[in-house]
């Protein structure tokens, strides 16, 4: 009987260890899957809003996207018990909304002028810029690896631009689009710094509700001068974009609250694959060799910067 009891105890211990390991692996992979889903849905949102922006303009598309997003998240917020943000969270919501409004306007202004994959590739320099924001805001030392990362990122952008220039397709509009996305990347870098902080201060539903609400209020301020009445097709695209953006925000907020930024940031690069696929399917955009080569250089630069943060910080 004692031997049976001991054997049962050992079996129970092995089962507990196995279950614990299984749960640990499950808990570590779920945030990654959530962020993958978030990036995929954000890429789909980019495609729908680009389609609408080509017809009604960037401003109207973004205004209605955030208005619809606010209405879509309202039932979720009510069902969650109407969580109210703390004073600290409210400040972060407002600050991130202000940064996101500038980032989104510049990004889509650029995206309607150049192919999706190209625009996403250029925006990948954001994590490199974020290293300098960390130095400025957090007092971190800018090390040699960060400088190398920056140079690789700049070289990648130049390769993409050279490919377009060499093909004779670098029009004035394309130049404006590239410049707008580069400037948008600066705002996105600041957004990355705030994203983790926001995820730790508030639940995903609260973030989605107040992010959409503040963005809507910011864009509404310019409506008397910039808003136009959309056609039915554009309205449906914008509604789909709002649903996709809200889903993406929920996925990303959930994931970033459960894993470190340095683990999740590399997943941003999957956005290039989604952008290339959706750009080809929806707009007939082709992927060229310079864009792929430039993207590889930018991604290597981002990895170099990530190693800098992980090993030397």
What is the 3 state secondary structure string of the chain? Answer: CHHHHHHHHHHHHHHHHHHHHHHHHHHHHHHHHHHHHHHHHHHHHHHHHHHHHHHHCHHHHHHHHHHHHHHHHHHHHHHCCCCCCCHHHHHHHHHHHHHHHHHHHHHHHHHCCCCHHHHHHHHCCHHHHHHHHHHHHHCCCCCHHHHHHHHHHHHHHHHHHHHHHHCCCCCHHHHHHHHHHHHHHHHHHHHHHHHHHHHHHCCHHHHHHHHHHHHHHHHHCCHHHHCCCCCHHHHHHHHHHHHHHHHHHHHHHHHHCCCCHHHHHHHHHHHHHHHHHHHHHHHCCCCCHHHHHHHHHHHHHHHHHHHHHHHHC
Angle between helices 116-123 and 172-201 (to 10 degrees): 50
- Is residue 170, in this structure, part of any structural domain at all? yes
**Stretch among 137-151, 208-222, 289-303 having the lowest mean pLDDT:** 137-151
Number of domains the chain is built from: 1
Residue 263 predicted with pLDDT over 90: no
> Where is pLDDT greater, at 268 or 306?
268
- Is residue 17, in this structure, part of any structural domain at all? no
User: Domain range holding 182?
Assistant: 34-312
pLDDT digits (tens, 9 = 90+) for 100-118: 999 999 999 999 999 898 8
- Is residue 29, in this structure, part of any structural domain at all? no
Binning pLDDT at 50, 70 and 90, where does residue 155 land? confident
- Is residue 202, in this structure, part of any structural domain at all? yes
> Where is pLDDT greater, at 139 or 222?
222
- Is residue 27, in this structure, part of any structural domain at all? no
């Amino acid at each position: 009987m004692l031997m049976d009891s001991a054997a049962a105890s050992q079996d129970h211990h092995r089962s507990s260890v196995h279950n614990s390991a299984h749960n640990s692996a499950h808990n570590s992979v779920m945030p990654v899957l959530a962020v993958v889903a978030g990036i995929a849905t954000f890429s789909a949102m980019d495609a729908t809003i680009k389609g609408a922006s080509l017809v009604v303009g960037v401003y109207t598309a973004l205004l209605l996207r955030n208005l619809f997003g606010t209405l879509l998240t309202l039932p979720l917020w009510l069902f969650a018990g109407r969580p109210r943000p703390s004073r600290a969270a409210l400040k972060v919501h407002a600050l991130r909304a202000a940064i996101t409004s500038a980032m989104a306007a510049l990004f889509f202004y650029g995206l309607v002028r150049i192919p999706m994959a190209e625009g996403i590739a250029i925006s990948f320099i954001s994590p490199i810029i974020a290293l300098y924001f960390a130095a400025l805001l957090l007092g971190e030392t800018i090390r040699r690896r960060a400088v190398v990362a920056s140079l690789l990122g700049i070289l990648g952008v130049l390769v993409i631009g050279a490919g377009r220039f060499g093909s004779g397709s670098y029009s004035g509009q394309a130049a404006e689009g590239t410049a707008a996305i580069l400037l948008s990347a600066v705002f996105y870098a600041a957004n990355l710094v705030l994203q983790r902080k926001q995820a730790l201060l508030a639940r995903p539903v609260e973030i989605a509700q107040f992010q959409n609400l503040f963005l809507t209020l910011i864009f509404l301020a310019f409506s008397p001068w910039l808003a136009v009445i959309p056609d039915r097709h554009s309205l449906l695209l914008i509604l789909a974009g709002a649903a996709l953006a809200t889903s993406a925000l929920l996925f990303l907020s959930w994931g970033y609250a459960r894993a470190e930024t340095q683990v999740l940031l590399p997943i941003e690069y999957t956005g290039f694959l989604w952008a290339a696929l959706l750009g080809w399917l929806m707009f007939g955009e082709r992927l060229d060799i310079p864009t792929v080569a430039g993207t590889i250089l930018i991604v290597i630069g981002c990895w170099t910067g990530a190693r800098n943060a992980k090993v030397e910080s």
